[in-house]
Amino acid sequence: MSAKPDGRPAGRWPHIQVKANRKFCKGCNICVLVCPTRVFEEGKEIGERGYITPVIAHPERCPNQKRKTKKNAVCEMCILSCPDQALDWDETAGAEG
């Protein structure tokens, strides 16, 4: 596999992925309810704040998964709906192309 000019292997590119901050999440599951592609599932384990928090079970379903920056995001229903601002984009993730 050849490398790109910036040193990354060919076939890999930066992309955004939704991430959850468990310190802010209170387990309301609004993200589970509003996500049109069912990226989230209700959790089964108690988090560090004592709440059962949802999990990002299917990040590959997110329509923003292969976008390069959050500037190009097309959905954001989960992020906009979270009352605790526990969700954000992780722009450091990488994916196979």
Name the average pLDDT for the chain: 81
Q: What is the pLDDT of residue 48?
A: 80
Residue with the bigger pLDDT between 32 and 12: it is 32
- Spell out the alpha helix ranges (H) of 2-91: 30-34, 77-81
Structure confidence by residue, pLDDT tens digits, 43-87? 998 888 899 999 999 998 998 887 877 776 788 999 999 999 999
Question: Is residue 65 left, alpha or beta, with left meaning phi > 0 and alpha meaning psi from -120 to 50?
Answer: alpha
For the chain, the structural domain boundaries read: 25-87
Q: What is the pLDDT of residue 72?
A: 66
- Residue 35, judged by CB atoms within 10 A of its CB (0-12, 13-18, 19+), counts as buried
- How is domain 25-87 classified at the CATH fold level? Alpha-Beta Plaits (3.30.70)
Residue 94 predicted with pLDDT over 50: yes
